[in-house]
Amino acid sequence: MPDDIKIKGTKTGQPPFRWSRCLVRGILCLIILIAGIAGASYITKTAPKAGKRPPRKEAPLVRVKEVSPSLETVIVRAMGTVIPARQVMLKSRVPGEVIKTHPEFTEGGLLQKGDQVLQLDPRDYSLAVTQKQSKVVDARYELDLELGQQEVARREWKLLNGSRPAEEQGDGALALRKPHLEKARASLASAQAELEQAELDLSRATITAPFNAVIREKNAEVGAQVPAQGQLADLVDTDFYWVLVALPVDRLKWIDIPRMTGGRGSMVRISCRNGPGSGHARTGTVIRILSDLETEGRMARLLVSVKDPLCLKKESSHQLLLLLGDYVRVEIQGHEIDKVYRIPRTALRDDSKIWVAGDDGILHIREVHTIWRDRDTVLIRDGLRPGDRLIISDLQSPVQGMRIRLYTQSSKGSTPRLSEKGGS
């Protein structure tokens, strides 16, 4: 029993030592926290303070371009569609069976003027010519006989009536066989006309190309029975194509448009981004303006003529190949304007203002009247003087008389002064 009591007494004595160790740790943490707060407060109070001064105003940096008047050519840019200049539906004037065709008689085939495109069976027409020749011989024979009868009738009239002239009408005319002579001559003329018609039908059995052409569509083959006026092929002239150009009506005043066939029109540069011959260009000529506007866009329409559009000639082999229906870009060379300033389109502000950098580093805002505008440039005549420095960069809040700095390649410091001539 005493031993048990000793053991229990030992266990009940442990908790006081644990509480003392926790108390010591808490006191140490509190001391460290107080020391940290005191150190931070000391550093904050003894740190150096920055002096206050008003913000420095710095003039904005701008790019400029020195301008001078020049002779400029107006270039009217538009889009156009390639269409045939001359197109015919080749038809047969006479019926018959197709017995022969040209080797190029197929879609895309090329024909020269006068080439035999198709040959119809000519035998029926050859026989008709022979028959009509026989009729002509008979009619000429009848006329010769009648001329002999005329001589006999005149002699008989002279024997019976002496020198008394015969009447133009009535028994006198019958006695001299004048109606018989007229009938014989009419029969000969009719027979000759029938012979000419038969020969013409025979010639029409051979169908030729009316001009240098490409076959757009064919509608006959060897062995086919072709009726009169039957469609054989759709031909398109290869010597010229037209480009139908749509552009605003107010652009017409800058373009030379012939009023009569053969007149001189403005030169046109034709190009396209895609398709055969992409990257090359063709030249054409304005030949006509159509009399009506487009129904949808109310645009005027010009016809531009292009020679050798399929590049069939040797001198055109490196040029742009034009295909019917192609959508192309055109640049029409318009009138020349002297003593004008060409500026970038982005340098025109609010549709009627420009910014100019003065020699004193001051911004000047000027009103201008534009003579010509396109996608990239503007032509003006007033508002600028030779040597003016046109501002071509943007400003956030431009104000008349504000100070500016001019940008140069060496504008690394704070006061660059020289402009970059010609822009950048």
Domain assignment present for 233? yes
For 17-58, what is each residue's pLDDT tens digit?
A: 567 777 777 788 888 888 888 777 777 777 676 666 676 677
For 286-301, what is each residue's pLDDT tens digit?
A: 999 999 998 888 899 9
| Pair (154, 217) in one structural domain | no
Q: What is the pLDDT of residue 92?
A: 93
Q: Identify any residues that bridge with 373 across adjacent strands, giving them in sequence order.
A: 378
Alpha carbons 83 and 231: distance in angstroms, whole number:
21
For tokens 């009247």, name the residue: 369
For tokens 């504008």, name the residue: 411
Q: What CATH number does residue 320 fall under? A: 2.40.30.170
| Pair (195, 262) in one structural domain | no
Residues 264, 256 contacting (CB under 8 angstroms) = yes
Residues 330, 78 contacting (CB under 8 angstroms) = yes
Domain assignment present for 106? yes
Domain assignment present for 363? yes
Domain assignment present for 141? yes
| Pair (265, 321) in one structural domain | yes
Q: Band of the pLDDT at 162, cuts 50, 70, 90?
A: low
For tokens 């066939």, name the residue: 261
- Residue-number span of the structural domain to which 155 is assigned: 122-204
| Pair (165, 223) in one structural domain | no
Q: What is the pLDDT of residue 413?
A: 40
Phi, psi of 192 (to 5 degrees): -65, -35
Q: Work out whether strand 64-66 and strand 389-391 pair parallel, antiparallel, or are unpaired.
A: antiparallel
| Pair (267, 291) in one structural domain | yes
Q: Work out whether strand 240-247 and strand 70-84 pair parallel, antiparallel, or are unpaired.
A: antiparallel
Give the pLDDT mean for 375-393.
91
Element spanning 145, H or E = helix 123-161
Where does a domain end: 180, 204, 228? Answer: 204
Give the pLDDT mean for 151-163.
67
Residues 67, 195 contacting (CB under 8 angstroms) = no
For 259-282, what is each residue's pLDDT tens digit?
A: 888 788 999 999 985 544 445 788
| Pair (111, 234) in one structural domain | yes
Q: What total of structural domains would you count in the chain?
A: 4
Domain assignment present for 145? yes
Rg (CA), the chain: 51
Domain assignment present for 329? yes
Query: What does the DSSP 8-state code read for residue 421?
Result: T
Q: What CATH number does residue 105 fall under? A: 2.40.50.100
Measured CA to CA in angstroms, residue 201 lies from 88, 129, 206 at distances of: 21, 9, 9
Where does a domain end: 318, 336, 354? Answer: 336
Q: Which amino acid is at 344?
A: P
| Pair (233, 345) in one structural domain | no
Alpha carbons 233 and 217: distance in angstroms, whole number:
5
For the chain, count helices (H), then strands (E): 5, 22
Where does a domain end: 238, 257, 283? Answer: 238
Q: Band of the pLDDT at 101, cuts 50, 70, 90?
A: very high
CA nearest to 333, candidates 292, 362, 304, 370: 304
Q: Which of 21-30, 352-361, 369-378 has the lowest mean pLDDT?
A: 21-30
| Pair (311, 398) in one structural domain | no
